[in-house]
Amino acid sequence: MGAPFNYDVLDLTDEQVDAEVRVFGALTAAVRRLNEATLRTTVDHATVEEVRRQVEELTARLEKSMIPDNFGVSFTKGGRIRGYGNAVVGIRNPNAVPLTVVQDKVNGRASAEFELNALHEGPPGQVHGGVVALVLDQVFGEAAAAGGSPGMTGTLTLRYRLNTPLGPCSAEAWVDRRDGIKTIVKGELRRADGTVTVTAEGIFILPRWAREEIAKNGGTPPQFE
């Protein structure tokens, strides 16, 4: 059974990757501002129509040269990950949460501080529960990878203890234990004052195709985006 997708290895230098991150990261941040402004603006309809035409013109310029479909995930020969389309941390994905995850490979932990705004709303003034699950899934997966046991989400069970207000938040996850090909991760989401609003547990599984690749080549991606 082969992998259901490919991880390409590219001959890019760190300088080239840094340039990608800088240039496209700035564009993504600008589009995120546009997304929130689209939701929150109170300008008149004529101004909205004018801006729409300008946005369509700018979009057409970018559409002149595009990859065929999804961005995928690739690695450089130096080990840099290019998961730029990732729904949570993709630097070229303006719909992604502006999230930077810090891995602690000594202790098998991962954490992130971030801000959720009006684009992430569920109940009035509160973060949508699905956005919470999305964020924790990413942080939990990176904790599993930090602990040396990268895998894909098998289950993710959340307990919503309190509402999570829009604004600054933080998430932390850690490897609780391992059971064969399974890595059990626990963690939590906190609001700005440090109060835990969501606790969760996830099971991350090293899939069969990855185990076959390890047996054949002796290596596996450092994490699954």
- Average pLDDT over the chain reads 91
Q: How many domains does the chain have?
A: 2
Single residue among 96, 130, 145 that ends a domain in this structure:
96
Residue pLDDT, tens place only, 104-147: 999 999 999 999 999 999 999 999 999 999 999 999 999 999 99
Averaged pLDDT, 183-197: 97
Closest CA to 149 of 101, 203, 213: 203
Supply the range of the domain harboring residue 181. 97-217
180 in any annotated domain:
yes
Single residue among 55, 70, 96 that ends a domain in this structure:
96
For 49, residues 6+ apart whose C-beta sits below 8 A from its C-beta are none
Whether 35 and 84 map to the same domain: the answer is yes
User: What phi and psi, each to the nearest 5 degrees, are found at residue 47?
Assistant: -65, -40
Distance CA 111, CA 173 (A): 6
Q: Are strands 196-205 and 182-191 parallel, antiparallel or unpaired?
A: antiparallel
Whether 49 and 17 map to the same domain: the answer is yes
Which residues, listed in sequence order, are joined to residue 153 by a DSSP beta bridge? 204
Whether 45 and 26 map to the same domain: the answer is yes
Residue pLDDT, tens place only, 3-38: 566 677 888 999 999 999 999 999 999 999 999 999
Residue 44 has pLDDT above 70, yes or no: yes
Instruction: Give 186 or 79, the one with higher predicted confidence.
Output: 186
Whether 181 and 213 map to the same domain: the answer is yes
Whether 204 and 105 map to the same domain: the answer is yes
DSSP letters spanning 90-149: -TT-TTS----EEEETTTTEEEEEEEE-GGGBSSTTBB-HHHHHHHHHHHHHHHHHHTT-
Single residue among 73, 96, 119 that ends a domain in this structure:
96
Here the CATH number for the domain that contains residue 133 is 3.10.129.10
133 alpha carbon, distance to own chain's centre:
11
187 in any annotated domain:
yes
128 in any annotated domain:
yes
